[in-house]
Structure 1
Amino acid sequence: MSLKQRLEELKDQGLQDIQAADNQQKLNDIRVKLLGKKGPITEVLRGLKDLSNEERPQVGSFANKIKGDLSSAIDDQLKVLDQKTLQRRLAHETIDVTLPGRPAPVGTPHILNQTIDDLEELFIGLGYEVIDGPEVETDHYNFEMMNIPRNHPARDMQDTFYITHDLLMRTHTSPNQARSLEKHDFSKGPLKMISPGRVYRRDNDDATHSHQFNQLEGLVIDKHVTMADLKGTLEVVARHVFGEEREIRLRPSYFPFTEPSIEVDISCFACGGKGCRVCKYTGWIEVLGAGMVHPNVLSRAGVDPQVYGGFAFGLGPDRFAMLKYGVNDIREFYQNDLRFLHQFQREVK
């Protein structure tokens, strides 16, 4: 058998094997077997040395053509197999684009933020503006402007974290009230504001206390504002948060920045005032402090206390949330336990 005949035979057999290959691995094996350095075509080409000078180029050219034909056939079959693989994947992984999408899990506001947002909406509806301010505060605005001079014993109630002698983490949001008093133009109308935010005090962390917590303070300054206006406002707040049937009780108290000062109780929402564990069998629950703004606070901000007066109040959204939802430990709000937080999920608007 001549070399040409042997090459023709190898080509025919190779094309049959290529057509029969049904995966890439078999095609790669055929490529190595036919066209590799140890393959039969290479073996045939080694016999070129025995041919005459006239036959050698003809047979060599013919052998190269066969190698090219087999290589092209392998590439074509590879494309066919790739297309078949793609078709199988498309058939198996078909997506119906008309089906509704799978909803991704979406978080909801933290329960404390929900409580603050609810109170903000209430006060905005009553004509108040919401004022924000820095958490790192000066001693001047945090204490001095609130009628708490240096070495005053009232500072012991609000011992806090000092950064320098004059810089500290604010103990209440009252500094925002002082700044608003300084800036407000009373010729354009009364000052009605609330100031929610995080405050800091050096306190032991236990079930009812935390070194950081939220506070929402309110301030109304105008001519002829009375304690009756304060009581009416606090009744609206109590009934909005704890139920329309709630009653409030005012008790005398002391705060350096208000005079007279009061503590505010609400009738127990758990027992309706009959006495239970929630209200410690008194029928009342303490919820916030308030009072008429001290004249010294007004005069320090450049407001004439002989002409203007008003009331201020401070409440804790953390305490409101604890009472409203029956949470026994304030630390639960800050531990990010999803089992706890999922109890207060609401639909995101």
Structure 2
Amino acid sequence: MFQTTHHQPTDDKTTMENVNRIVAEGIAAVEAAQDFNALEQIKARYLGKTGGLTGLLKTLGQMSPEERKTIGAHINECKNQFQTAFNNKRDALNEAKLQAQLAAEALDITLPGRAQENGGLHPVTLTLQRVVELFHGMGFEVADGPEIEDDFHNFQALNIPANHPARAMQDTFYVENGDVLRTHTSPIQIRYMLDKKEPPIRIIAPGRVYRVDSDATHSPMFHQAEGLWVEEGVTFADLKVVFTDFIRRFFERDDLQVRFRPSFFPFTEPSAEIDIMGENGKWLEVGGCGMVHPNVLKNVNIDPEKYTGFAFGIGLDRFAMLRYNVNDLRLFFDNDLSVLSQFSRNKRKTWKEAISDLIKQLPTEFTLDSLYKYKQDLSELFLRNEHIEEKIRQTVQILEKNGDIERLDRGYYRKIRV
């Protein structure tokens, strides 16, 4: 027999007062924050997964429909107030940081202009290219798919039941008609297998994915790469060989220790977490994997009695953090050129660095005329300025004043000092 769910009555006034109290405390804490780290911690305390306002939202399921509508609307309004206060404080901190930077930096209008610097690829893009390059060498091809997915491709076909926590609104972004922003790139595998019809299948599926999460190591939008190999006779041993070879090539360490730790995923059986040994002697999780579940193969019309396969998934953002020794994921997406330019493959030297290097190459005895053999390099640096020697005089003065070339033999530049 079906059972009727009874909701315990709540005190609307008490709940409203509790919401108002929490948001007032949160806004006061935001306004008192002195730096960005404190501001992010406050946001997590109130809007994070275990935050105060988030916790109140989770209690709505215990209320009657009328209470849920009234109190839920009030909680959302308070969340918007908190978010507005957070945005205003963040803008104020950014403005204060800019003003302090402008006040601290002196501007010398007599300095030569800067040449246009070459751009570079984003560190996550560089990491993606590296991953794809390595798997191309193993015979994998790249597959792609839409970022807005339906329930079948994102959940049902992957053996994720209707009551699985991944379907909760606290973890998944829902859009119209029950569609979602894909929570992993596994739907690409489903679409590819349905389209391919028959194995062998060997693909790598990179792309953006979305989950309701945000902190130093998680972002609402992040990048994944998932691999799939379906063929007759594929075993877990093949999975271990392929991934171990990949991870050692990626980090360029033939002695890198890799372990496969038993775990659970609804779309693979058996399943494992993949760990590598860090430089600190501790195991570090880098991905998940397993043998493709027979139900998944059936859902894409592949006979699990004839074919087997393995799948794995890695976070490209996390791999980029490990590759470039970055400890805060948000640095990749703040669009701070002073940070991102450090990862460029084609990073050009500053004009001071280039001039200093040129001076080191000059013979001990020389005249200004001899500098013209470097005209090609210098003209690129100074936008084809014909008065190169004057620029060098100015530059040497600056370098000497800043202590950048004190260690050099003074004979290297004595004849071009003013």
Q: TM-score range by the shorter chain?
A: 0.5 to 0.7
Partner SS state of residue 328, structure 1: coil
Partner SS state of residue 290, structure 1: strand
Q: In the aligned structure 2, how far is the partner of 1:157 from the partner of 1:164?
A: 13
Establish whether residue 220 from structure 1 lines up as the match of residue 229 from structure 2. yes
Establish whether residue 247 from structure 1 lines up as the match of residue 257 from structure 2. yes
Partner SS state of residue 176, structure 2: coil
Alignment-derived partner of residue 318 in structure 2: 319
Q: In the aligned structure 2, how far is the partner of 1:103 from the partner of 1:127?
A: 43
Determine which of 149, 160, 164 is the counterpart of 1:152: 164
User: In the TM superposition, what whole-angstrom CA distance separates every residue of 1:24-67 from its partner, at most 9, and x where no partner exists?
Assistant: xxxxxxxxxxxxxxxxxxxxxxxxxxxxxxxxxxxxxxxxxxxx
Alignment-derived partner of residue 336 in structure 1: 335
- Name the larger-Rg structure: 1
Determine which of 215, 218, 224 is the counterpart of 1:206: 215
Determine which of 82, 85, 110 is the counterpart of 2:122: 110
Cα pair 1:158 1:171 within 8 Å, conserved = no
Alignment-derived partner of residue 122 in structure 1: 134
What are the within-5 Å matches in structure 2 for residues 113-192 of structure 1?
113-156=125-168, 159-186=171-198, 190-192=200-202
Runs of 4+ in structure 1 off by over 4 angstroms are none
What are the within-5 Å matches in structure 2 for residues 228-247 of structure 1?
228-242=237-251, 243-247=253-257
What are the within-5 Å matches in structure 2 for residues 297-312 of structure 1?
297-312=296-311
Cα pair 2:134 2:250 within 8 Å, conserved = no
Q: CA distance change for structure 1 residues 217 and 292 in 2, over 3 Å: closer, same or farther?
A: same
Cα pair 2:123 2:340 within 8 Å, conserved = yes
Q: In the aligned structure 2, how far is the partner of 1:147 from the partner of 1:301?
A: 11
Alignment-derived partner of residue 267 in structure 1: 277
Q: CA distance change for structure 1 residues 156 and 195 in 2, over 3 Å: closer, same or farther?
A: same
Q: CA distance change for structure 1 residues 309 and 133 in 2, over 3 Å: closer, same or farther?
A: same
Q: In the aligned structure 1, how far is the partner of 2:227 from the partner of 2:340?
A: 28
Deviation at 1:319, TM superposition (A): 0.5
Alignment-derived partner of residue 97 in structure 1: none
Deviation at 1:244, TM superposition (A): 2.0
Q: How many residues align?
A: 233
Cα pair 1:318 1:330 within 8 Å, conserved = yes
Structure 2, unaligned runs of 5 or more: 1-113, 348-418
Cα pair 2:182 2:209 within 8 Å, conserved = yes
Letter in 1 for 2:236: M
Partner SS state of residue 304, structure 1: coil
Deviates most, 128-137 or 239-248: 239-248
Deviation at 1:237, TM superposition (A): 1.6
Letter in 2 for 1:162: Y
User: In the TM superposition, what whole-angstrom CA distance separates every residue of 1:154-206 from its partner, at most 9, and x where no partner exists?
Assistant: 534982111124211000011110011111143xx510001100000111x21
Q: CA distance change for structure 1 residues 156 and 292 in 2, over 3 Å: closer, same or farther?
A: farther
Cα pair 1:129 1:194 within 8 Å, conserved = yes
User: In the TM superposition, what whole-angstrom CA distance separates every residue of 1:285-335 from its partner, at most 9, and x where no partner exists?
Assistant: 110000000000000000000001110000001001111221111000100
TM-score when normalising by structure 1: 0.64
Letter in 2 for 1:145: A
Letter in 2 for 1:105: E
User: In the TM superposition, what whole-angstrom CA distance separates every residue of 1:49-91 from its partner, at most 9, and x where no partner exists?
Assistant: xxxxxxxxxxxxxxxxxxxxxxxxxxxxxxxxxxxxxxxxxxx
Q: In the aligned structure 2, how far is the partner of 1:158 from the partner of 1:146?
A: 20
TM-score when normalising by structure 2: 0.54
Q: In the aligned structure 1, how far is the partner of 2:136 from the partner of 2:303?
A: 27
Partner SS state of residue 266, structure 1: strand
Cα pair 2:118 2:346 within 8 Å, conserved = no
Q: In the aligned structure 2, how far is the partner of 1:297 from the partner of 1:192?
A: 16
Alignment-derived partner of residue 61 in structure 1: none
Cα pair 2:172 2:181 within 8 Å, conserved = yes
Q: CA distance change for structure 1 residues 132 and 170 in 2, over 3 Å: closer, same or farther?
A: same
Alignment-derived partner of residue 193 in structure 1: 203
Partner SS state of residue 132, structure 1: coil
Letter in 1 for 2:202: K
Q: In the aligned structure 1, how far is the partner of 2:167 from the partner of 2:248?
A: 33
Q: In the aligned structure 1, how far is the partner of 2:228 from the partner of 2:191?
A: 12
Letter in 2 for 1:324: R
User: In the TM superposition, what whole-angstrom CA distance separates every residue of 1:240-280 from its partner, at most 9, and x where no partner exists?
Assistant: 12222212101000101000000001122x24xxx3xxxxx
Q: In the aligned structure 2, how far is the partner of 1:151 from the partner of 1:172?
A: 18
User: In the TM superposition, what whole-angstrom CA distance separates every residue of 1:141-162 from its partner, at most 9, and x where no partner exists?
Assistant: 0001111132234534982111
Alignment-derived partner of residue 43 in structure 1: none
Deviation at 1:238, TM superposition (A): 1.2
